[in-house]
A and B are shown apart, each in its own frame.
Chain A
Amino acid sequence: MLTFTLRRLLLAIPTLLFISLIIFLLVDLAPGSPMSEIPLTVPPEVRQKMIEALGADQPVFVRYILWLRQFFWVEPATLMDGWFGSHLAGDEQRILSWQSRSPVFTVIGQRIPQTLTVIGTAYLVGIMIAMPIGIYSAYRQYSAFDQLGTLVAMIGFSVPTFFTGTLFIIIFAVWLGWFPTKYDTTLEVTDWASFILQLKQMAMPVMVLGLANAAAISRYMRSSMLENMGQDYVRTARAKGMTERVVVLKHVLRNSLIPVVTVIALGIPSIFGGAIITENLFGVNGIGAALIGAIHANDLPMVQTLAFIFAVLIVLFNLIADVLYGLLDPRIRYE
């Protein structure tokens, strides 16, 4: 197992380097200019000077090597300096966003908490809704509950979040006036009242995303349960005189969880990736909103760094899912 993990980690290095190059070239070759958002009243000479000040006029490979150096040396060194008070990074330039001229990692640091609380909660809520629905739907296949669950899952799958989001805003914010439409990122939870406010402002984005997540996971849960329900060991368990409760929740559920856990683990990078549409709609200043804002402004360093971090997370969680699989199912051995 350990050799397998190490081998996979080593393999990940060239993969990630290659991915970073591809992302950099894709982002760089995409049409558009960091100057496209500034008004037409700014004359071309001034635009040219601004581009030079950003370093955006350098050849693409020079910028790529510089970015690699900043990402793998300057940024970790700055982090170390911050933690241990050392002076590894010196005066070296960190990765600066073209749009805000602030370090990209500072922006990411500001946004991670929002993304984790809102998107992370939505993911948890989604799992908690999906599991019981999936289990019961499978246990009572084709019952009214199963049909209803299927219907809800299909709606969750097929209705895009920008639609459910707007619908929720109109119903819960405009008509009922229960929840705010804009997420207040300056709110600090210090007492019961501010905690309630935080719950209120999280309610709508969490509902929207939770519905979408629950839809997917409940279908996996259901099909995995169904597959196991017909197995011989289930009949054996019943024949031994076990109660239905023990049969379903101990024998079947445990075995059915294996593929579901993989699916859940593989979905975790998407939490960090944020939910571009939902975050934008509700004004949650998470990673997804940062990404879309940077894409609009052709803020190459920001887009590049975020896209690469997602790549790292996806590679990492793929590995974690594989390892988990081996831990959960003793029949699987990586040699």
Chain B
Amino acid sequence: MKLKSALLGAACAFAMAPAAFAERGTDGEVKLTFPQAVSIMNPYLSSGTKDIYASSMVIEPLAGYDDAGTLIPKLVSEIPSFENGGISEDLTTITWKLLPGLMWADGSALTAADVVFTGQYCMDPAGGCAQLSKFDGIASIEAVDDLSVKITFTAPKPNPFNAFVGSTSPILQKAQFEACLGAAAPTCTDQNSMPIGTGPFKVTAFTVNDTVSMEANANYRDPAKPAFASAVIKGGGDAEGSARAVMETGEFDYAWNTQIPPDSQAAMAAAGKGQFVVAFGTLVERLEMNMTDPSADLPEGERSTAKHPHPFLTDINVRTALSMAIDRQILTEVGYGAGGAPTCNVVPAPAMYASDNTACLTQDIEGAKALLESSGWVDSDGDGIREKDGKKLSILYQSTVNPIRQDFQALIKDWWSEIGVETELKAIDPSVFFGGDAGSPDTFQKFYADVEMYANNFDGTDPEAYLTQYKCDKAPSPENQWQGENMNRFCDPAYDAMVSELSGTRDAAKRAELAKKLNDMVTKDSRIVVPLVHRGTLSAHSNALGGVKINAWDTELWNVADWFRVK
């Protein structure tokens, strides 16, 4: 008996040995810098990435995504599934089981009541919650007991992992936010800038749009973490300055969003103080083709609507030729360097949803010319521009004011002029282009141009909602105050039917297959969308910072508790 316990003791001592190295608060301060400063620490009132990332160090959701896009439990003991009974057979309820003994940073216990409250907080109609769409289709959220929460949906929900999953939808402490429901939400300044959380750090000081100071949370569930005793996020400046502070001067340990020109990337990497890391999520820079006529000669209210089909972009051969003329490799090198990769897909990731559609990656100017020639688009009057039935291939190509986009526009204009297509370029201020003001002619929804370029992505790992955007009824028009995401006014009943099929499908493999088909339908089969570059988020970390695992599916700081100082 004695021997056994002695052996056990020895085994324990060995097991404890690595933990002795990793102890809470032994590694000093970790310094992060964001080119955009943090405005608020409550993701429910801001959907700015900077705010969500910063708050993710402090407040946590029930579950999150790891660097491979897999769901991982955070505040719960396991991910609900059919097997463990967490998701009901009819797909209408999901039950989360909280880890026992969890404590808020202030020492009080986290219970199911906090989760229920958070749902109530976001779903309050007067609160202006930025993450409301995460709570779509929820009939009720109730606490079954202190440690279990049951969410009931109004209809079967094939993907129930929206509310309380990922850094955009963390749990707020009921005791702290109780007085901040509804219209009072924005006025709770102290709560919004210093939320009490369960994460590895807690806020000690917050200056709006400047600095967030944090210290290790003494009540964090893993007693050995975080390794850093304090953390600070300094915001402001620009991407170049942030990258420099990590890569060249070594003042900071981590810089988020250091998207800088490829030549600067190389020069900074050569300084040898740090390295760039890229997270490839689902962001794709693309050209969207307008299927309706944007001509200024049409009366207001009929421009770019289904009433008038586009004079030449409705011809698939024209769209295909425009896509073939583009060299995506050059675009990537010029614009993004390590932070991008050429792509032909609208859904470029996660791997299980990405179609093996790569045909567009090689530029084929001659092929494009031949295709236009054979489909009757010829330059009969010798002005270098092809025409057919009196319609000239003359394109108005719009995008936002952004140096990389203007480079892309110039390059693409050149390639298109080589195949006999005339292009006029237009650059619009991003706050107008994306502003959605129904009174402005320059929004991307109104699309008073033939081709427009921007980047879009989807939240989480499931592309269903994203693919739904190309359904007929999602087209912006005067009838719906120009709201909607189907900028192309693409309308294919077969596509709509397949989207409905997707939303009724539970089997993961079958879902992936359908998603790939839908992706192909808008890209290689129809060239309605011409993807150009799969864009990653380029971040930089110093060589003295260990444990960084870049993550495109959730906050980049998802494993900040595991970060340590390389000695």
Q: Footprint of B on A, CB under 8 Å?
A: 31-33, 35-47, 49-54, 93, 96-97, 99-103, 106-107, 110, 169, 173-174, 177, 180-182, 184-186, 280-283, 285, 289-290, 293, 296-298
Q: Is A110 within 8 A of B208, CB to CB? A: yes
Can you list 21 A-B pairs, Cβ within 8 angstroms, ordered by A? A32-B431, A42-B130, A44-B436, A51-B128, A52-B128, A54-B186, A97-B208, A99-B40, A100-B208, A102-B189, A177-B249, A181-B249, A182-B33, A182-B251, A185-B211, A185-B234, A186-B211, A282-B237, A283-B234, A296-B431, A297-B39
Cβ–Cβ < 8 Å partners of A106 in chain B: 189, 208
What is the 8 Å Cβ interface bit string for chain B, positions 393-412, against chain A (1 contact, 0 not)?
Answer: 00000000000000000000
Q: Which of B345-353, B455-463, B528-536 lies at the binding interface?
A: B455-463
Q: How far is the CA of A185 from the CA of B455 in the complex (A)?
A: 35
Q: How far is the CA of A295 from the CA of B429 in the complex (A)?
A: 13
Of B128, B430, B431, which one neighbours A50 at CB under 8 angstroms? B128
Shortest Cβ distance from B242 into A: residue = A182
Interface residues of B in 106-161 (CB under 8 A from A): 125-130, 132-133
Q: How far is the CA of A99 from the CA of B456 in the complex (A)?
A: 23
Tell me the dominant secondary structure on chain B's binding face. loop
Q: How far is the CA of A292 from the CA of B544 in the complex (A)?
A: 33
Cβ–Cβ < 8 Å partners of B376 in chain A: none
Q: How far is the CA of A100 from the CA of B238 in the complex (A)?
A: 19
Q: Is A180 within 8 A of B432, CB to CB? A: no
Q: A33-B435, A101-B40 given as contacts; is B249 within 8 A of A285 (CB)? A: no
Q: How far is the CA of A80 from the CA of B37 in the complex (A)?
A: 31
Cβ–Cβ < 8 Å partners of B485 in chain A: 40
Pick from A169, A182, A289 the residue with the most CB of B within 10 Å.
A182
B48 part of interface (Cβ distance < 8 Å)? yes
Q: How far is the CA of A157 from the CA of B413 in the complex (A)?
A: 39
Cβ–Cβ < 8 Å partners of A289 in chain B: 209-210, 236
Pick from B48, B207, B459 the residue with the most CB of A within 10 Å.
B207
With both chains docked as a complex, state the minimum distance between the C-beta of A13 and any C-beta of chain B, in angstroms: 31
Q: How far is the CA of A131 from the CA of B322 in the complex (A)?
A: 64
B187 part of interface (Cβ distance < 8 Å)? yes
Of A32, A182, A280, A297, which one neighbours B234 at CB under 8 angstroms? A182
- How many B residues touch A, CB cutoff 8 Å? 62
Interface residues of B in 209-267 (CB under 8 A from A): 209-211, 213, 232, 234, 236-238, 241, 244-245, 248-249, 251-252
Cβ–Cβ < 8 Å partners of A290 in chain B: 209
Q: A33-B431, A181-B241, A182-B234 given as contacts; is B126 within 8 A of A53 (CB)? A: yes
Interface residues of B in 417-442 (CB under 8 A from A): 429-437, 440, 442
Q: Is A100 within 8 A of B213, CB to CB? A: no
Cβ–Cβ < 8 Å partners of B252 in chain A: 182
Cβ–Cβ < 8 Å partners of B186 in chain A: 53-54, 96, 101
Q: How far is the CA of A100 from the CA of B271 in the complex (A)?
A: 36
Cβ–Cβ < 8 Å partners of B183 in chain A: 53
Shortest Cβ distance from A282 into B: residue = B237
Of B133, B208, B241, B456, which one neighbours A182 at CB under 8 angstroms? B241
Cβ–Cβ < 8 Å partners of B431 in chain A: 31-33, 36-37, 296, 298
Q: How far is the CA of A325 from the CA of B84 in the complex (A)?
A: 84
What is the 8 Å Cβ interface bit string for chain B, positions 82-104, against chain A (1 contact, 0 not)?
Answer: 00000000000000000000000
What is the 8 Å Cβ interface bit string for chain B, positions 369-392, against chain A (1 contact, 0 not)?
Answer: 000000000000000000000000
In the A-B complex, the 7 residue pairs with the smallest Cβ-Cβ separation, listed nearest first, are A53-B128, A32-B431, A285-B210, A33-B435, A36-B431, A100-B39, A44-B483
Q: Is B436 within 8 A of A33, CB to CB? A: yes
Q: How far is the CA of A101 from the CA of B188 in the complex (A)?
A: 8
What is the 8 Å Cβ interface bit string for chain B, positions 4-22, against chain A (1 contact, 0 not)?
Answer: 0000000000000000000
Shortest Cβ distance from A97 into B: residue = B208
B545 part of interface (Cβ distance < 8 Å)? no
Q: A96-B187, A101-B40, A186-B232 given as contacts; is B211 within 8 A of A38 (CB)? A: no
Q: Is B244 within 8 A of A107, CB to CB? A: no
Q: A36-B430, A283-B237, A290-B209 given as contacts; is B435 within 8 A of A174 (CB)? A: no
Cβ–Cβ < 8 Å partners of A185 in chain B: 207, 210-211, 234
Of B45, B132, B185, B456, which one neighbours A46 at CB under 8 angstroms? B132
Shortest Cβ distance from A289 into B: residue = B236
With both chains docked as a complex, state the minimum distance between the C-beta of B423 and any C-beta of chain A, in angstroms: 25
Pick from A47, A97, A101, A110 the residue with the most CB of B within 10 Å.
A101
Pick from B128, B185, B209, B457 the residue with the most CB of A within 10 Å.
B209
Pick from A51, A53, A174, A285 the residue with the most CB of B within 10 Å.
A53
B47 part of interface (Cβ distance < 8 Å)? yes
Q: How far is the CA of A36 from the CA of B185 in the complex (A)?
A: 21
Q: Is B435 within 8 A of A283, CB to CB? A: no
Cβ–Cβ < 8 Å partners of B232 in chain A: 186
Q: How far is the CA of A288 from the CA of B432 in the complex (A)?
A: 23
B169 part of interface (Cβ distance < 8 Å)? no
Q: A285-B210, A289-B236 given as contacts; is B435 within 8 A of A40 (CB)? A: no
Cβ–Cβ < 8 Å partners of B211 in chain A: 185-186, 285
Cβ–Cβ < 8 Å partners of A51 in chain B: 128
Cβ–Cβ < 8 Å partners of B48 in chain A: 37-38
Cβ–Cβ < 8 Å partners of A46 in chain B: 129-130, 132-133
Q: How far is the CA of A101 from the CA of B429 in the complex (A)?
A: 25
Q: How far is the CA of A317 from the CA of B213 in the complex (A)?
A: 37
Q: How far is the CA of A97 from the CA of B442 in the complex (A)?
A: 27
Cβ–Cβ < 8 Å partners of A180 in chain B: 249, 251
B320 part of interface (Cβ distance < 8 Å)? no
With both chains docked as a complex, state the minimum distance between the C-beta of B398 and any C-beta of chain A, in angstroms: 15
Q: How far is the CA of A240 from the CA of B121 in the complex (A)?
A: 85
Q: How far is the CA of A189 from the CA of B208 in the complex (A)?
A: 21
Q: Is A33 within 8 A of B130, CB to CB? A: no
Q: Is B130 within 8 A of A102, CB to CB? A: no
Q: How far is the CA of A125 from the CA of B485 in the complex (A)?
A: 55
With both chains docked as a complex, state the minimum distance between the C-beta of A90 and any C-beta of chain B, in angstroms: 14
Q: How far is the CA of A96 from the CA of B458 in the complex (A)?
A: 31
What is the 8 Å Cβ interface bit string for chain B, positions 527-564, against chain A (1 contact, 0 not)?
Answer: 00000000000000000000000000000000000000
B193 part of interface (Cβ distance < 8 Å)? yes
Q: How far is the CA of A182 from the CA of B251 in the complex (A)?
A: 8
